[in-house]
Each structure stands twice: as structure tokens, then as C-alpha cells.
């Protein structure tokens, strides 16, 4: 994907991976033929084998059942979170239950042996809560793969979950085809294994208002728990999971942004991964737009010393840094010395899943710059935790108003935070008497997440280099604040520093299922307007290099779209040179260069007979990358129309044809919302 994604429900590749296909198979087995089922199983086994081969860390599972029994804990809350939203919701449920006096624990499936899950029923008054996000188009999140694998491999004719009480809240996005697939899978499979759905499954839609969805479900669930257990009194006030230690004198070494291992930024050693990113040096940084008020960056990273390999279609993960001025302003507002070295450590009675919420020891400056998301819209639990630190009644009443339960409270929160676009600094500015302790702010803020970009280069052409194509988005909030994307604004700030040590960014490679056919003789059709062209630039470079080396390469067709040919035709000269060398069939839709808007779907319609021939007779692969909300849907509908019109098929038969393409990996979508 060529755009950064900020929440669980919208993150990642929208392509049909083996995990996604297997989830669909479990949920709708009757729709699949025997050959396809066998193919999916083979792909999944190969995928699992590859995942194990890629693992570089020996993993020691903890026996969470024994720990729960030792601490007399009744409720286990499991979360599958790609970027933190599901983890945040799970943490809030944990505190809710603790306030009720129900001893609970928060568990990351990645850190525990999920084969022990069935033993939870041995605990009296037990309950398993699954708060799980769907990654892209139907995959489990990275940390929930162990849970997915366990449930997938469990035989339904053995009711190993019989008597085990559970509930599910799932996170998804309706712009994607497989909405909330992971949560629905967990619910269905747990019941098939004999589990007892204790409370109805909830679903959150990130395309609408996922916070509202969660709050509504949470209120119902908590009311159900109060009635079920006759709870009449609850704890009032803060329930802290972490306590702060100020290091004075400061330790010899502290974290400076490393995600996992102290000193890994100072001394770089492969292999590089999410826990050990490579600090890549920016060697080129230029503007791609030649006019207009919008911007798109082309960035090149030197990886010659990293021993990093990637394939066309893979993603590069960028670990961003927050705006320096905003960090300074928070320090000034809270009257802290940003260079103080601290650690946040789990309290003795904490039920947090991590000993530290972020790498410690670190300075306040490092934490605010690298580890917490200061630009995220504060959620209601953050605002609730701030109430007691207001010295003026008017500020306290405002926070009580926007955090109240029910429709009125949710509407007030929506106006104060979502519509106004307020971040943590805006909240502190809007409530002058609010003076919370900095460690509470750091504990309550979500973790700053990496952003994924489709690599827009091929190693066959750009040896020892990774290219990034990223558009920037600037806006003004209702409060008058100028805003922009966290990662893209940071990358933009490095443009004038190319060639210096400041122009270095932490990155690692994430494999993708969006990739060209193994046999380059197979034709490909690519639809990628705007920055959606990024992975296809890599495809085109790769196939051109293969053609130049004497390989037989099938037709390489690109449908690109932009507003104006003279302003935002990305990589125009390069693309036209490939056309001249007969390596590319290029079709461009300029949406604003004529009175009537023309989009990539319109060009597909014009070329309907050719597209049908490529797909049906020549077995071409069809790729889409870009906006999920409008473009990807329009292209999908146009594809169905083409199949009906030129393939002379009914709509149901056209849908079957498209489904077959997807199941065979011949129709792949990588979209973002």
C-alpha cells in the first residue's frame, strides 16, 4: 500500500493471502470446490512453514492458566491488534472489570501458548474476551496468528471448548470486502468447538465511528456483567497500571528510539526486522508534482550495507518521529524537563500485558518523539483519566460532559474531539486548568505505530536501494491548527537534510502477497491511480529488466489516473520511456483536464473487450492498488460489467468468475481507506 494507515481496522495489504482464504473457507465451506479447498490448504501449509523459517527469536510461552489461578483471576482478555486500537479497547475493558472487583488479565496471544485456552474452563466463573481486529482483507493481525492457527487446526468433532464462556468484540472496516472476518471467525469457531457465547459479539466499523461502536457495546456488556454478578459498588478514581521511576543520576545508556533492544540504533547488526530496524540513509528526496497545491514525495534509501532483500510488491515499514515543536510545546505546557530519564514499570497489582508500556529507560523527549502517538485523537478513557487533574470546575464539567455514557455523551465527545480534530496538545490548550502528571499522560497515550509504504522500485534495476512514493496531506482543524500526517510531515522535513546524518530513517521490510506472477510470460493488468502506482512502478521496472535480459515477458498494462497531466502525472517521463521501449501499455485517465471527469474505471470500460480477452484467454493477473472507499469498488463493479458484457455471462456467473480469479491469486487488491 502506498499510504500510511493509522488504525487496526484499515491497516495492511488488502490482498487475498493464504490466511484470508482459509478464514473464508472456514466461514463459508459450501461455496468452495474440492480442488480449490486443497489448493488453499497447500498454500496455508507452505505459508506457515515460511513464517516459521523467518522467525529469528526463540519463543518461550508462558502458562497463563497457572498464573491466573495463582492470582485468582477470572477473566482473560485476548487482543489481536496491528496498530494499537484493539489493544487499547482491551485495556479499557480490563480496567472496567477491575473497577467492578472482577480480577482479570490482559493477554497478548503472541506471548502465550493458545493450546492452553481450553483449560480456562477449569477456572470457576471464568470468561474469555476476544478483542480482535481484521488486518486488510481478512487476515488476522500479526500478534493473533497463534490464536488463528490454534483455532484453525482444532478439530470441530472434538468439543475441546465445551463449557468455556466467551465473548468477542471485533474491529473492521466496511470499505473492505471481508468486513470483520477475523472476529466472526473466532466467534464461529469457538462455538463449533463447544464454547458458550456468554454475551453477544460486538462489531466496530472504522469507516464510520469505531469509538462509538465500541462504547455502545461496552456499555451493554458492563450492564450485563453488573446484573449477572449483582455488582452494586465500583471503584472510583484512577487505576494505574504503571508507576514512574525517575533515574537520578541518569544511567550511562538509555533508549533513543530503538523499538526493542537498547543500543541497536548505535550498533547496527542484521538481520533487520520490526524489533531491529535498519537506519537507512536518504540519498534522494524530490517532489513529484509539477504544479498545484498538493504534494507527493519520491524518496530513495541506501541499503547497501544492510543485506536487505525485497521483492516487487513488498512494503517498507517506516518508524516515524513526532513533530519536534509539538514535543517541546507539550513539555512547556506540563512544565517538565524533557531530558529527564525515566522508566514506567508495571505496578505490583498491575494486570498489564507488558512490564513497560514502551522501551525504558528513556527521556521524556524520546518517549514523546518516538514511542507515543501525540497526534492521535484522544479516546474517552484518556479524557476520563484527566478529570481529577482539573482545578477549575468549568474544565472538569466539560470533561464530564464529553465522557458521559449514553448517546448524549458520545455526541459531545464526537463534537469536542473528532469533528474538531483535537489531539492531546489541543485538549491541554482547551482546558487551561488541566495539569496531569506526565507519567499518566504517557501511560494513557497509544503507542506510535510504524507506517507501511509499497516499495516503488525493483532490486533488478535499483540495486542497493529502496524507493518510497508518498503523498502528503495538510489540513486545518476547526480549532485553527495546521495538521498533517505524522510520517509524511517528518519525511518532508528531511528534504533539505539529504546527505547529512539527520536524513536517516528506521525501516524494515514486510513481505506482501501483492506480487507479479512467477512466470513473467503471463500478462498483467495493473490499476493504480495516484500513489497507487507505487508497487506497479516496481512491477514495471522488474519486467522491463527481465525483457532486456532476453526473457519472454507478457503484456504489462497499466491504468493510471491523476487530476492534470501537467501537474500530478507521477513518473511521467519514466513511464513514457517504457512505452517507447515496448515494455508497457499505458492508459492514463486525467480526471480534471476536460469538463467531464474521466477515471480509470472509464478506461477499463473502453477497453472491455481487450481486458476480457486478457483475463479469459490469456489468463492475465489483475491488480488494483489505491483508495478502497471509491476507486477499488468502482473498478470491481466495472470488472463485473466487463465480464457480463464481453464474456456474455450473467451477474451470478460473473461474480463466480471474479471469485475464482481471487482464489487463484489472479485478482489482488491492495487498498487503503
Q: What is the pLDDT of residues 398-419, one digit of tens each?
A: 999 999 988 899 999 999 999 9
Orientation angle between helical segments 631-646 and 651-663, nearest 10 degrees: 120
The active-site residue, picked from 296, 360, 520, 625, is 625
Distances from the Cα of 284 to the Cαs of 297, 469, 498, 508, in angstroms?
10, 12, 7, 18
Dist. CA 271–CA 12, nearest whole Å: 23
**Cβ within 8 Å of residue 294, ≥6 positions away:** 471, 472, 568
Render 324-348 in DSSP notation, one character per residue: HHHHHHHHHHTT--TT-EEEEEE-T
Q: Please tell me the pTM assigned to this model.
A: 0.86
Q: Check if 612 is active-site.
A: no
Q: What is the pLDDT of residues 78-94, one digit of tens each?
A: 999 987 899 999 999 99
- Judge contact between 89 and 213, C-beta under 8 A: no
Q: Check if 32 is active-site.
A: no
pLDDT at 26 over 80: no
- pLDDT of the residue at 232: 86
Q: What DSSP state is assigned to residue 374?
A: T
Q: Which candidate, 592, 670, 598, places its Cα nearest to that of 638?
A: 598
- pLDDT of the residue at 155: 87
pLDDT (average), residues 469-489: 91
- Judge contact between 136 and 15, C-beta under 8 A: yes
- pLDDT of the residue at 136: 72
Distance of CA 49 to the CA centre of its chain: 24
The active-site residue, picked from 81, 454, 601, 673, is 454
Q: What is the pLDDT of residues 614-661, one digit of tens each?
A: 999 999 999 999 988 899 999 999 999 999 999 999 999 999 999 999
Any idea which residue has 491488534 for its cell? Answer: 81
Length of the chain: 673
- Judge contact between 411 and 418, C-beta under 8 A: no
Render 245-302 in DSSP notation, one character per residue: EE-SSPPS--BSS-SSSTTTTTS--SSPBTTB-EEEEEEEEEE---SSS-EEEEEEEE
Q: Check if 625 is active-site.
A: yes
Orientation angle between helical segments 181-192 and 18-27, nearest 10 degrees: 50
Q: Check if 390 is active-site.
A: no
pLDDT (average), residues 273-279: 96
**Cβ within 8 Å of residue 40, ≥6 positions away:** 18, 21, 22, 25, 32, 663
Torsions phi, psi for 509 (to 5 deg): -95, 135
Q: Which candidate, 90, 117, 85, places its Cα nearest to that of 352?
A: 90
pLDDT (average), residues 546-554: 97
- pLDDT of the residue at 29: 59
- pLDDT of the residue at 15: 44
Q: Which candidate, 570, 550, 554, 571, places its Cα nearest to that of 562?
A: 570
Q: All 3 cell numbers of residue 272?
A: 533487520
The active-site residue, picked from 217, 490, 612, 672, is 672
pLDDT (average), residues 285-290: 97
Q: What SS3 state is found at 639? A: helix
- Judge contact between 176 and 207, C-beta under 8 A: no
Q: What is the pLDDT of residues 130-160, one digit of tens each?
A: 999 998 768 899 899 999 999 999 988 889 9
Q: What is the pLDDT of residues 30-79, one digit of tens each?
A: 555 655 556 555 555 544 444 443 333 333 446 899 999 998 999 999 99
Q: 175: pLDDT confidence band, cut at 50, 70 and 90?
A: confident
Dist. CA 338–CA 335, nearest whole Å: 9
The active-site residue, picked from 213, 217, 670, 673, is 670
The number of CA neighbours under 13 Å toward the Cβ of 110 is: 17
**Cβ within 8 Å of residue 393, ≥6 positions away:** none
- pLDDT of the residue at 208: 85
What is the CA angle 109-112-116, rounded to 5? 105
Amino acid at each position: 500500500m502506498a499510504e500510511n494507515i493509522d488504525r487496526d481496522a484499515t491497516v495492511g495489504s488488502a490482498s487475498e493471502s493464504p490466511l484470508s482464504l482459509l478464514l473464508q473457507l472456514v466461514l463459508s465451506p459450501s461455496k468452495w470446490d474440492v480442488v480449490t479447498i486443497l489448493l488453499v490448504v497447500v498454500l496455508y501449509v507452505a505459508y506457515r512453514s515460511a513464517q516459521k523459517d523467518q522467525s529469528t527469536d526463540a519463543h518461550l510461552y508462558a502458562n497463563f492458566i497457572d498464573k491466573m489461578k495463582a492470582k485468582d483471576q477470572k477473566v482473560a482478555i485476548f487482543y489481536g491488534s496491528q496498530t494499537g486500537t484493539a489493544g487499547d479497547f482491551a485495556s479499557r475493558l480490563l480496567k472496567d472489570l477491575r473497577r467492578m472487583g472482577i480480577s482479570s488479565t490482559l493477554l497478548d496471544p503472541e506471548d502465550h501458548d493458545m493450546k492452553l485456552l481450553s483449560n480456562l474452563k477449569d477456572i470457576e466463573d471464568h470468561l474469555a474476551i476476544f478483542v480482535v481486529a481484521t488486518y486488510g482483507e481478512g487476515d488476522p493481525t500479526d500478534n493473533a496468528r497463534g490464536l488463528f492457527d490454534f483455532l484453525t487446526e482444532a478439530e470441530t468433532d472434538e468439543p475441546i471448548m465445551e463449557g468455556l464462556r466467551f465473548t468477542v468484540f471485533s474491529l473492521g472496516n466496511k470499505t473492505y470486502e471481508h468486513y470483520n472476518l477475523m472476529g466472526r471467525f473466532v466467534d464461529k469457531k469457538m462455538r463449533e468447538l463447544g464454547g458458550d457465547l456468554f454475551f453477544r459479539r460486538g462489531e466496530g466499523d472504522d469507516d464510520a465511528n469505531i469509538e462509538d461502536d465500541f462504547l455502545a457495546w461496552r456499555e451493554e456488556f458492563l450492564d450485563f456483567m453488573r446484573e449477572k454478578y449483582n455488582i452494586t459498588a465500583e471503584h472510583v478514581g484512577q487505576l494505574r497500571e504503571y508507576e514512574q521511576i525517575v533515574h537520578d543520576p541518569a544511567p550511562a545508556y538509555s533508549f533513543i528510539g530503538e523499538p526493542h533492544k537498547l543500543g541497536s540504533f548505535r550498533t547496527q547488526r542484521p538481520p533487520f526486522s520490526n524489533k531491529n530496524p535498519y537506519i537507512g540513509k536518504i540519498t534522494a528526496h524530490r517532489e513529484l508534482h509539477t504544479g498545484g497545491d498538493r504534494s507527493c514525495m519520491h524518496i530513495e534509501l541506501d541499503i547497501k550495507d544492510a543485506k536487505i532483500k525485497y521483492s516487487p510488491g513488498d512494503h517498507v515499514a517506516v518508524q516515524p518521529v513526532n513533530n519536534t515543536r509539538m514535543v517541546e510545546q507539550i513539555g512547556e505546557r506540563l512544565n517538565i524537563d524533557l531530558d529527564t530519564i525515566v522508566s514506567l514499570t508495571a505496578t505490583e497489582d498491575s494486570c498489564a500485558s507488558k512490564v513497560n508500556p514502551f522501551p525504558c529507560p528513556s527521556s521524556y523527549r524520546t518517549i514523546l518523539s518516538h514511542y507515543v502517538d501525540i497526534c492521535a485523537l484522544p479516546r474517552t478513557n484518556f479524557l476520563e483519566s484527566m478529570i481529577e487533574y482539573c482545578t477549575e470546575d468549568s474544565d472538569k464539567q466539560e470533561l464530564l460532559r464529553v465522557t458521559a455514557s449514553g448517546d448524549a455523551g458520545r455526541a459531545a465527545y464526537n463534537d469536542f474531539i473528532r469533528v474538531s480534530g483535537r489531539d492531546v496538545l489541543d485538549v491541554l490548550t482547551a482546558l487551561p486548568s488541566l495539569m496531569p502528571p506526565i507519567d499518566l499522560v504517557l501511560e494513557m497515550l497509544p503507542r506510535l505505530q510504524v507506517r507501511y509504504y509499497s516499495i516503488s522500485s525493483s532490486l533488478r534495476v535499483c540495486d542497493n536501494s529502496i524507493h518510497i512514493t508518498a503523498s502528503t496531506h495538510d489540513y486545518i482543524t476547526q480549532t485553527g491548527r495546521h495538521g498533517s500526517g505524522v510520517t509524511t510531515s517528518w519525511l518532508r522535513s528531511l528534504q533539505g537534510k539529504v546527505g547529512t546524518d539527520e536524513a536517516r530513517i528506521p525501516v524494515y521490510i514486510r513481505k506482501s502477497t501483492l506480487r507479479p506472477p512467477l512466470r513473467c510470460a503471463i500478462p498483467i493488468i495493473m490499476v493504480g491511480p495516484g500513489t497507487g502506482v507505487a508497487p506497479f512502478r516496481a512491477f514495471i521496472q522488474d519486467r522491463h529488466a527481465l525483457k532486456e535480459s532476453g526473457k519472454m515477458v507478457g503484456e504489462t498494462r497499466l491504468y493510471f489516473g491523476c487530476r492534470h497531466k501537467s501537474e500530478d502525472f507521477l513518473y511521467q517521463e519514466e513511464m513514457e520511456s517504457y512505452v517507447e521501449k515496448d515494455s508497457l501499455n499505458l492508459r492514463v485517465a486525467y480526471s480534471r483536464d476536460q469538463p467531464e471527469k474521466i477515471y480509470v474505471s472509464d478506461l477499463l470500460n473502453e477497453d472491455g473487450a481487450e481486458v476480457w480477452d486478457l483475463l479469459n484467454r490469456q489468463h492475465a493477473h489483475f491488480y488494483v492498488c489505491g483508495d478502497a472507499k471509491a476507486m477499488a469498488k468502482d473498478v470491481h463493479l466495472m470488472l463485473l460489467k466487463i465480464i457480463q458484457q464481453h464474456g456474455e455471462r450473467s451477474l451470478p456467473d460473473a461474480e463466480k468468475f471474479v471469485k475464482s480469479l481471487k482464489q487463484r491469486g489472479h485478482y489482488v487488491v491492495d487498498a487503503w481507506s
